[in-house]
Amino acid sequence: MPLKSPSRPSPSFSQPARETATQHQKQHYSKPVLAAYWTGPVFIITCHIGVVMALFTGLSLGAWLWIAFLYWIRMLAITGIYHRLLTHKSYSAPKPVKWVGSIIACAAGQMGPSWWKGHHDEHHLFSDQAGDPHNSTKGFWWSHYQWLLGGNFLPSKLPADVEKDPILRLIDRFHIVPAIALGLISFALGGSEYLAAFFVSTTLLFHGVATVNSLCHQFGTQPFHSDDHSRNNGLVAFLTLGEGWHNCHHAFPWSARQGITKIDGQIKYLPDPTFLFIQGLQRVGLASKIRLPFTKDATELN
């Protein structure tokens, strides 16, 4: 049954101990890093404006297939690499998987691995409280995109583990390069029509990822205890390759599988394409130490 109280005690095994926002030391950013980071919003705004191009070029079946391909491949890099691998370490993978996955994720125009993880760490640390960059209690549109428009745009702290890897750090600072390169590839493939398709895909992808922060903290079920407003939402799960099972994710942030619910006290599994991808990586030797709740080895308390 859904549990609706947002003020439940935080399960100690599923979330890091909360700190107050004031205890969080602010990161210092040099001018070159600031310049590199601010290319991100400029790019995303350009893509939104670029969508209008499609009205003039039209979109053929090939262009729609390109939109879909670019949407799903980049969504997978964000969910499977940025989120479940780099941020939550829900499985282990060789460094080249992290590097290649991060380059593909950068092509989404949603910033690099350090920036992304820095913000997401804060989201889990302070979820739906002061200190959460996209705190859903400040309103739907705030959590969807408005949080990006002000001082929250810069993470309070860049994650030390990602920053320690010089390649990931390089990818983070040059995050805009794969994004622009993919636009150019699109243009080379099919001229203005495919460039318009790239703009459409990138804009849809931006809002697809954003629904996890907005819809999934407002609408859906709460089968598990989590000290926030996170919810399982099937529509978002479809749009985000399984990330919409967000209440499960907040209850078990370290789990490689997010498609889990509880019905009449029984654990049921839900469609989770990102988890299938991780299992696929494991089959070809590129993923190991997959962490899962409700198995003999895992602590199962929720």
Please report, as ranges, the residues that interact with Zn ion according to CB under 5 A. 230
Amino acid at 81: I
| Closer residue to Zn ion in complex, CB, 183/273 | 273
153 half-sphere exposure, CB direction, 13 A CA radius: 17
| Closer residue to Zn ion in complex, CB, 74/231 | 231
DSSP state of 256: S
Query: 3-class SS at 198?
Result: helix
Q: How far is the CB of 83 from Zn ion (least distance, A)?
A: 6
Does residue 290 contact residue 256 with C-beta atoms inside 8 Å?
yes
Q: How far is the CB of 130 from Zn ion (least distance, A)?
A: 15
Q: How far is the CB of 124 from Zn ion (least distance, A)?
A: 6
Q: Determine the number of helices (DSSP H) and then strands (DSSP E) in the chain.
A: 12, 2
| Closer residue to Zn ion in complex, CB, 43/82 | 82
| Closer residue to Zn ion in complex, CB, 230/274 | 230
CA distance 79 to 256: 10
The distance from CA 223 to its chain's CA centroid, rounded to whole angstroms, is 22
| Closer residue to Zn ion in complex, CB, 86/168 | 86
Task: Check the CA dihedral 81-82-86-88 and report its sign.
Answer: negative
Amino acid at 64: W
Q: How far is the CB of 255 from Zn ion (least distance, A)?
A: 10
| Closer residue to Zn ion in complex, CB, 66/252 | 252
Residue nearest to Zn ion (CB): 230
Give one DSSP letter per residue of 137-177, joined into a string: GG-HHHHHTGGGGSGGGS-SS--HHHHHSHHHHHHHHTTHH
Q: How far is the CB of 87 from Zn ion (least distance, A)?
A: 6
Least Cα distance to 251 among 216, 277, 203 occurs for: 216
Other CB atoms within 10 Å distance of the CB of residue 229: 21
Q: How far is the CB of 127 from Zn ion (least distance, A)?
A: 6
Amino acid at 71: Y
Does residue 127 contact residue 228 with C-beta atoms inside 8 Å?
yes
Least Cα distance to 99 among 90, 118, 86, 84 occurs for: 86
Q: How far is the CB of 26 from Zn ion (least distance, A)?
A: 22
Q: How far is the CB of 75 from Zn ion (least distance, A)?
A: 15
| Closer residue to Zn ion in complex, CB, 15/230 | 230
| Closer residue to Zn ion in complex, CB, 203/230 | 230
